Structure 1
């Protein structure tokens, strides 16, 4: 392989200045992008041009009206058809923007199912495409003008509207893939899940999640078993191994580097858990997937 993985920790155009909205949107135009991942969400709308986008090793067709949602740490790369330029709205933001409302969990919990239950990319057509394009245009207009009263609130509202429409169309494309109806009392679990997805590449323990939520470790453990069918540790290991598997087949990074990049403190533990989940050692998995279509 000859693939270099780029990691972007900060959003383009963003600032770490206290009080500034962790949000960026612009119109990007290029024929290809480098293989990369980042700690923020990327939400895009293809304006014109066509090609393919690889997301965690899976190819997705891109044409005008295609919308993609890339959660943090998803590895992706874009290549256009015949070297043509692809223009797209590129929206980058911190997931925490979406968790201010007490009603947010009615839909934000479903964002964690993108890439598994729901597709990462969806082709919008007709009125739906026009509506989404208009929402991205309004987001860009609000972003470029820092003066209007209520600007940040307007950005959060428009962003939420666009994401909800994306989820509706994604679910409508496969009715069998719709998630279970939300039960009352689940908000604490989804707060815990959000925290885990935001920090699984770092040192993360049951005690840390419990302290963040101000509840007992026993309660956190029980929530994960009831809602996911897995223990907390198994759930975190699955997240880390899925991320590591993508890095193994999409990059030239060493196995030891990948182990540390995905949150494992010990290469020995990484090797053991990887084989338990994937049925192969990291090296065997990488070699077996080198020739997969779209990854070379």
Structure 2
């Protein structure tokens, strides 16, 4: 029997009350490994103690004190914690709308959306940056537990600072620099991109987006090329094939089930696009055991 990744309803888990931002944070010790899962929120994690291995979309990296990871919505991930040195970490989850709703965070949002692609999804911070990240995470925790005046503003400001610390830790070539086109970008553009990145497993088309957001299909096509450097359909296929690669590498699901779970309505289309992007059929990819080939 195929084992499907678990979907975590983070909105229900966070359970934001009226007037509270869609945000959740906890500090915990991971005594056992987590199952392969995905969720709707973006997740920022910061390791303070212990050792383990995190797998994101089929690619694994070591987790040690000072490691920061960014998980985008619906990225498949799991953590194996060392039982002799269990992981202690902050786990901060938030809806991407906290950034896309602000016209001043477009550059930051664009860089975060590239995590796992142009920009790595994790980094080991320098010692001074570790101190700053710990301060920010503990500050968010205190604000989250309290109900002080300006609570939402304080949480959001610390979250933005923590995300900037993550982005700025990479070499300049890894991140997108400010440009006039970014300064002038419309908030609607990023709302469309956000919606696409969180609903890519569902039936999605330029026509559907056009009707939902009240703009022409050609406008949406241009904004994807402008902001992400790819046509809408190519971006959609890239997200779905990455998910398929992770499922093939980390589960025993049948190739047909993988096709459906990755959002493809046609198995023939899935097989064609998969081979086009990876140079292997899905079955060949699974048998090869490769984690380094293709767009995953």
Q: Are the equivalent residues in 2 in contact too, given 1:3–1:35 (CA < 8 A)?
A: no
After TM superposition, the runs of 4+ consecutive aligned structure 1 residues lying more than 4 A away are 16-20, 226-229
Tell me: CA distance 1:16–1:266, structure 2 relative to 1, closer, same or farther (3 Å). Answer: farther
TM superposition shift of 1:88: 0.5
1:54-65 alignment to 2 at 5 Å? 54-65=55-66
1:1-296 alignment to 2 at 5 Å? 5-11=5-11, 13-15=13-15, 19-31=19-31, 32-81=33-82, 83-145=84-146, 147-169=147-169, 171=170, 174-184=171-181, 185-187=184-186, 188-289=188-289
Q: Which moved more, 1:95-104 or 1:205-214?
A: 205-214
Give deviations 1:122-171, integer Å, cap 9, x for gaps: 112322111110100010011111x21221121111111111111111x2
Give deviations 1:72-98, integer Å, cap 9, x for gaps: 122222223454211101111111122
Q: Are the equivalent residues in 2 in contact too, given 1:98–1:156 (CA < 8 A)?
A: no
In structure 2, how many angstroms separate the alpha carbons of the residues matched to 1:280 and 1:15?
Answer: 43
In structure 2, how many angstroms separate the alpha carbons of the residues matched to 1:65 and 1:155?
Answer: 21
In structure 2, how many angstroms separate the alpha carbons of the residues matched to 1:83 and 1:243?
Answer: 32
In structure 1, how many angstroms separate the alpha carbons of the residues matched to 2:42 and 2:94?
Answer: 5
Tell me: CA distance 1:16–1:128, structure 2 relative to 1, closer, same or farther (3 Å). Answer: closer
In structure 1, how many angstroms separate the alpha carbons of the residues matched to 2:18 and 2:200?
Answer: 25
List alignment gaps of at least 5 residues for structure 1. Answer: none
In structure 2, how many angstroms separate the alpha carbons of the residues matched to 1:269 and 1:20?
Answer: 42
In structure 2, how many angstroms separate the alpha carbons of the residues matched to 1:288 and 1:189?
Answer: 39
Q: Are the equivalent residues in 1 in contact too, given 2:107–2:178 (CA < 8 A)?
A: no
List alignment gaps of at least 5 residues for structure 2. Answer: none
Q: Are the equivalent residues in 2 in contact too, given 1:29–1:88 (CA < 8 A)?
A: yes
CA RMSD of aligned residues (A): 2.5
Q: Are the equivalent residues in 1 in contact too, given 2:58–2:245 (CA < 8 A)?
A: no
- Equivalent pairs, count: 288
1:42 counterpart SS class: strand
1:164 counterpart SS class: helix
Q: Are the equivalent residues in 1 in contact too, given 2:167–2:175 (CA < 8 A)?
A: no
Q: Which moved more, 1:74-83 or 1:96-105?
A: 74-83
TM superposition shift of 1:267: 2.3
TM-score with structure 1 setting the length: 0.88
TM superposition shift of 1:12: 7.2
